[in-house]
Amino acid sequence: GAGVSQSPRYKVAKRGQDVALRCDPISGHVSLFWYQQALGQGPEFLTYFQNEAQLDKSGLPSDRFFAERPEGSVSTLKIQRTQQEDSAVYLCASSLYSGGAVYTQYFGPGTRLTVL
Amino acid sequence: GNSVTQMEGPVTLSEEAFLTINCTYTATGYPSLFWYVQYPGEGLQLLLKATKADDKGSNKGFEATYRKETTSFHLEKGSVQVSDSAVYFCALHASDGNNRLAFGKGNQVVVIP
């Protein structure tokens, strides 16, 4: 079946622009995660949704970062007034419900954001 | 907090050589442990996992054993192929109700024919 898809795959923004990154999770997956991966580093957690509820946003680096999943399926990560330090690969992952159990997180290919 | 430490630096080795990538962790309780692999131009893929102490995860000739006494989850493969060239990430899922994965920095593995 189809995996996690993300769009766009590449995004170049001028400093100060707003960007929106999209994630389509695997159908039926309740949990959705966003991670940020800087060059040469491992992914770092940003935020977590269970259906449409954002249960954990403790990893968002500033109030310029905002994520939503209004219908419990597709999710959008929005970055306002982008800065050079926002340049990274943004990864989306989905899994079956993980309340009390550990389910595998399946990752999308990522969106590489470059802020000039 | 929960964290994962991987050995520093890329790993370069010849085809059919033995591969070991070290991974140690810090976590409260009883985390689950994972190895993810990222092939060039592709997304992260789960390679193997172990959910309790002394469990051995295995896949595609790779193995890792969850050692609680040494808080380690080292990845091994007895005979690597050129196609194993990739970046390997160790990760943990804590048992404290926090659903995130905590990743190590990753190790680039280059296998030379």
Q: Do B99 and A56 touch (CB under 8 A)?
A: yes
CA distance A79 to chain B (A): 21
Nearest CA to A91 among A50, A46, A49, A55? A46
Q: What is the pLDDT of residue B54?
A: 94
Low-confidence residues in chain A, pLDDT < 50: none
Q: Could you tell me if A45 and B92 are in contact, meaning their C-beta atoms sit under 8 angstroms apart?
A: no
Q: Does B53 touch chain A (CB under 8 A)?
A: no
Q: Using an 8 Å CB-CB cutoff, list chain B residues near A3.
A: 43
Helix (H, G, I), strand (E, B), or coil: what is residue A89?
Answer: strand
What's residue B94's pLDDT? 84
Specify the pLDDT at position B30: 85
Per-residue confidence (pLDDT) for residue A54, from 0 to 100? 95
Series of mean pLDDT values for 10-residue runs along chain B (113 residues):
89 96 92 94 92 94 96 97 96 82 95 96
CA B2 to chain centre: 16
**Residues in Cβ contact with B50 at an 8 Å cutoff, skipping those fewer than 6 apart:** B32, B33, B56, B57, B64, B65, B66, B73
Query: What is the C-alpha to C-alpha distance for residues B24 and A62, in angstroms, rounded to an integer?
Result: 30
For residue A55, list chain B residues with Cβ-Cβ distance below 8 A: 99
**Cβ distance of A98 and B42 shorter than 8 Å:** no
- Across the interface, whether the CB atoms of A33 and B99 are under 8 A apart is answered yes
**Quick one: what percent of chain A has pLDDT higher than 90?**
87
